[in-house]
Chains A and B, each alone.
Chain A
Amino acid sequence: MTTIPEQAADAPERLVSDEQLDAARIPVTRVGLATIGGGLGSFALVDRLRVAGVPAEEIAVLGAHTSPGAAFQARCTALGMTDDSRLRSDATARIDNLWGFPGYAGGEARRTRSLRPLTRQLLQGVAGEGSSPTVATVRAALDKEARRIGWPLMTSGIPADYLFKRDAGGYFVICRKKGGMVAIRCDHVHLALGAPGPRTTPEVAAYREAFPGSTRLTSAYDDNAAVLRQLANRGANVVVRGAGPAAVQLLEQLAAGRIRHGRDLHIWHVVRSWPDGSTGHDQRLGFRHQALDFPRAAYTGALRDELRRAAEEERLDAFERLGAPTTPRRKAVDELLDGARAAGWYDAVVGEVESFADDGAQIATRVLLQNGERMTIAADHVFDATGLETDAGQHALVADLLAFSPVATNRLGGLRTTPDWTVEGGDSGDGRMFASGRTARGGHYGPVDSFTGLQQAALSIADTLATAGFGERLSPLRSARGWLQWIGGKSL
């Protein structure tokens, strides 16, 4: 049971036997599948399995939250999104509905007694901003579906600490409970751990090390409400770094604060490159516009097939290129930034951030501009909106797996997976190890952590599980019955 972290990489793979757990007096619970993460990735798979008739006792969900949408809601709140904020998502991508029909747009049209959501969906991709659900819509539907499939029966709100392969096939998941340890023995295991936290770029890491007490640099995913209020109240110079939706969200909040308090809030927006039209995107004011994280063809179209077939290096290059920061086009943001630029309180700076330094009163951002010159921006606060951490190895559980089993990560930080979402080197006897969501980033699919991507993973994983003898395939009849139960709100 005791393992030495400095174990050599070429040592035989670590396997744990029933006797070892017995000797360590760790109680063992037996289930068919354990899913580690407990967020939307786990939810999508569990929903699919429950719809096809897998009993709740056969599934264990291990995560820090008892509600599947808790982590998702926490990220939205941290970004300053309210219940009415629209997500960057498609109306037919429903995490709570395996079939995508009826979509979010129909429900919203019925609720608001307006045809607008439907016309927006119809004109999607041609004109307008398309139809996307609000945070509240998604959360409410998710909670309802979680209750329907009996999510509370499967989860206990305890995160998993270790994942061991069992010597006779299957896995052990070890959790801490009331000071002691418990083990869950499962035939198959699923990892959907999400992002470990905001990304820490080397410049940010260096700054944190040099100025450990400073609060002048925060990530877009930190709780910025108090800082934003303070900045808007006093007037300040602010640096926003990044060109994705999180940066747009911050810019909107800063602009709203400036308008509310009437103080001089000057925004320096640092982006790595100014779009030059080479990517084919619609572009404006330094942002590349795209409705979703990836081009739509990468979700279900021909691009998905091409990516699935491509060789690893080519695929990872493509993911980096296609997954580059883009934002959905919104007229309100365009008008806001146009006005701000004309009024002179918004400036875009194009270049790479070299370093941050704190001089006691202000934070200095050194930027290497595109023309080779250096520029130093003295600001009262820096918001780093470069996104979320991509390295799955930042999770202690995954780091342990990487050290003591043949599981490996790819260049983008996700676990190496096969096209059917199995983790390479993760098999244990007849047991399979799966990964979806951000944990499978850089696998065979581009948009892994979208609602659609999670559902695609869930459908594929459940089919593989059915072949392995766990659960049933979703035949047309079973699927139709599941849908009727969903639409009728019948508890499973």
Chain B
Amino acid sequence: MTPTLAGRVQTRLALALVPGVPVALAAAGLLDHLTLGRALIGLLVITVLGLVWDAAYQALQDRRWDRDWPPLLTLLSWVPEACASWLALNALGSAAPRGTHLVFFTLLWSAALLVRAAVLPVLLPHWRHEGQRLVVARARAAIPAPARAPEATTTAEEPAAEEAPARSRGFSLGALGLRPGTPRFATVALFVGVFGAVLLLAPLLGHDTPPPAADPRLTHGEEHQAMKVERVRRLHAWDTTKRVLPAYVEFPAAGVDTRLGMTLMKENGVLVTPDPRHAAWYGQGAAPGQRGPAVVIGSTDAIFQGLAHAKAGQQLRVVRTDGSRVAFTVDRVMTVDARAFPTQEVYGATRRPLLRLVGYDAESGRNTIVFAHAAWVTAAPMED
């Protein structure tokens, strides 16, 4: 049933209150990253923006050939409203994560759709007939005296009749007449508009992945900016399924700069370095820069002596045999007894490229473990 602007606005405001507020409260309880405050602000922003959308929809509807609003367009309204509300909330700084917001919006939107389809017609039978208005002004119009002879009035109406041909083109009595030849144009324009909006908004939405920008060392310094862009580009082209063997590991903060050998696990399940002067990479696990945890071991008496000074946030690099470098950022450092070795934490499968430096002290049986994640990769050696 064709809506009117007043009907759209009234219905939207009412639906924001009745299924809107309870659904927002329920969503805040159900969704992890959605606080109550954010949900209510989100509902407010979605509703206010929705009023703007309503005006736009109505303007578009008035330009369609029969000034109707087909059901499919009601369904398609999800796209502009969901995207716009997320961008607006993002600009206000109170956006939930994108996925959470979309789920939240979809919940509100479907609840409103359901109420409009099944509840409002039942509770208010006149709602659908009055262009979706909730409040209907019932004024009995002034009754002109019954004219027995219509011929008498036609002469007086002559000037009005002259403008009739101009109006005869569209289905409108007002100014928003329809030009001939545009019956399908408005529908096509809407589709182009909606999908254009999606195409334009998609890159904006994609760029919210914050890791490169949030990295504190990459945000300060002029010279880092150009490098940052380059690194981000390479990070995006990083193939984490490729297995490239490591050659060196450099950890300036711990004074480590060593060639890497390869070691395999022994029969009894013990991992040792073949040469105490160099560190060794566990060759049965992931390679550094490949998805999964890459494990490098070394003796804390010799090569990994400085490992105790390592701190979260420090950076280390692995040079691989193809000349590329993978930079890692230290997440945390822990010292454990060898008997309580956190096997799952160190070797546990993951989709991210990780690195673990394990320093062992054969005498005390203490292990120092550095957990790090890959930050970026360069394809060829860079002058740092």
Q: A290: which B residues are within 8 A, CB to CB? A: 66
* Contact call B71/A124, Cβ cutoff below 8 A: yes
A132 at the interface (CB under 8 A from B): no
How many chain B residues have a CB neighbour from A under 8 Å?
A: 60
Binds B, one of A146-154, A183-191, A293-301: A293-301
* Interface 1/0 per residue, B113-130 and A, CB below 8 Å: 000011001111110111
The stretch that binds A, out of B25-33, B144-152, B232-240, is: B144-152
Is A476 touching B1 in the complex (CB atoms < 8 A)? no
B70 touches A408 (CB 8 A): no
Tell me whether B71 and A479 are in contact (CB under 8 A). Answer: no
Q: Are A306 and B172 in touch, CB under 8 angstroms?
A: yes
Give the distance in Å from the alpha carbon of A406 to the alpha carbon of B145 in the complex.
10
- B268 on the interface (CB 8 Å rule)? no
The answer to whether the Cβ of B250 comes within 8 Å of any Cβ in the partner chain is: no
Q: How near does chain B come to A48, taking the closest CB pair, in angstroms?
A: 8
Residue B5 contacts which of A9, A302, A314 (CB distance < 8 angstroms)? A302
Q: Within 8 Å CB of B335, what residues of A? A: none
Please tell me if the beta carbons of A410 and B68 are within 8 angstroms of each other in the complex: no
- Chain B, 62-87, CB within 8 A of any chain A CB: 62, 65-73, 75
Q: CA A303 – CA B110 in complex, angstroms? A: 29
Within 8 A of A (CB), among B1-17: 1-5
Can you spell out 12 A-B residue pairs with CB atoms less than 8 angstroms apart? A100-B128, A122-B72, A124-B71, A125-B68, A126-B72, A277-B181, A280-B65, A280-B169, A280-B180, A303-B67, A313-B157, A407-B146
Chain A contact residues: over half helix, strand or loop, or mixed?
Answer: loop
Interface residues of A (CB under 8 A from B): 9, 92, 98-101, 121-126, 277-282, 290, 295-307, 310-314, 317-318, 321-322, 406-408, 410-411, 416, 418-420, 422, 424-425, 444, 452, 455-456, 459, 463, 474, 476, 479-480, 483
Determine if A301 and B170 form an interchain contact, defined as CB atoms under 8 angstroms apart: no
A99 engages B170 (CB within 8 Å): no
**Taking the complex as formed, is B270 at the interface, i.e. its CB lies under 8 A from any CB of chain A?**
no
A302 B128 Cβ-Cβ under 8 A: no
**B interface secondary structure, majority:** loop
Q: Which 7 A-B residue pairs are closest in the complex by CB-CB distance? A: A301-B2, A125-B70, A297-B67, A296-B68, A295-B66, A476-B123, A306-B173
- Say whether B125 contacts A479, CB under 8 Å: yes
| Contact yes or no, B126 A318, CB < 8 A | no
Which residue of B121, B143, B154 contacts A99 across the interface (Cβ within 8 Å)?
Answer: B121
Cβ contact within 8 Å between B180 and A278: yes
B-side contacts of A282, CB under 8 Å: 65, 183
Q: Does B153 sit within 8 A of A, measured CB to CB? A: yes
**Contacts A124-B70, A301-B68, A420-B140 supplied; 19 other A-B pairs, CB < 8 Å:** A124-B71, A126-B72, A279-B180, A296-B68, A300-B1, A300-B128, A300-B131, A301-B4, A302-B61, A305-B4, A313-B157, A314-B160, A322-B171, A418-B140, A418-B141, A424-B143, A444-B141, A459-B126, A480-B122
Pairwise interchain contact B141-A419, C-beta atoms closer than 8 A: yes
Q: How far is the CB of A491 from chain B (nearest CB, A)?
A: 20
Asked if A123 and B72 sit within 8 Å, CB to CB, the answer is yes
Q: In whole Å, how far is A114's beta carbon from the nearest beta carbon of chain B?
A: 18
Cα distance, A92 to B126, chains bound together (Å): 14
CB distance from B60 to the nearest CB of A (A): 13
CB distance from A469 to the nearest CB of B (A): 16
**Does B161 count as interface, using CB distance less than 8 angstroms?**
yes
A300 in contact with B168 (CB, 8 Å): no
Q: Are A101 and B117 in contact (CB under 8 A)?
A: yes
A459 and B174 CA atoms in complex are apart in Å by 27
Asked if B351 CB lies within 8 Å of chain A CBs, one says no
Contact of B138 with A by CB under 8 A: yes
A174 to B148, CA, bound (A): 26
